[in-house]
Structure 1
C-alpha cells in the first residue's frame, strides 16, 4: 500500500490522506492485507481516501467466490469506507487485447 498526505493548493481546504492499494491473490495474504488496511487507517488521521484493486468482494453479485466476503465487509464497516460508484462504464478492467477480456 502507498499512502500520502495531500494538501490543497495555497493552504485552502482541509488536507486529506490518499492510500492506493493492490490486494493480494492468496487468502492467507488477504487476511494480513486487511489488517494492514486497519493499521494504515490508524496512521492517517482525518479525511482518508482508499482506492485501488482489493482483489476482494463484498457483494454476492460481484463474483461467485464468497470465502473472504464476510471478513472484507467487516473491514469496510469498521473503517467506515464507502464505495465510489463507477459511472458510465460496466467494467473496471480490460486486458487490452482483441477481443478484450472485460471484468
Structure 2
C-alpha cells in the first residue's frame, strides 16, 4: 500500500502456482516469474510457461532466471513473454555488453 501511495509500481515475484494465486489478489500491473526452484535450485523456463494461463493479458510478465542464451529468449517470445530479468548470463562474461547483444539478437 505504501508503494502505491508513493505512486510506485510494484513487481511481485512468484515461483509457483500457489504464490501466483496469492499475488493475483493484489492490484498488479506486472509480475515476475522466477524459474528457479528455491528448494532444489533447478531452473526450468517451463515454470513461466506453466503459469502464464492464469495471468490476465493486462499484466506484464517478466521471466526471471534461466535466460542464458538467445534460444532461451526465443522460447519465451514464442510464448508471448517479452520482458526478462537477466543476471547470471551477464555476470559470467568479461564483456556483459557483448553478452547482451548476443542473447537478445534477432
The TM-score, its normalising length taken from structure 1, stands at 0.42
- Whichever of the two has the greater Rg, that structure is 1
The TM-score, its normalising length taken from structure 2, stands at 0.41
Structure with the higher fraction of residues in helix conformation: 2
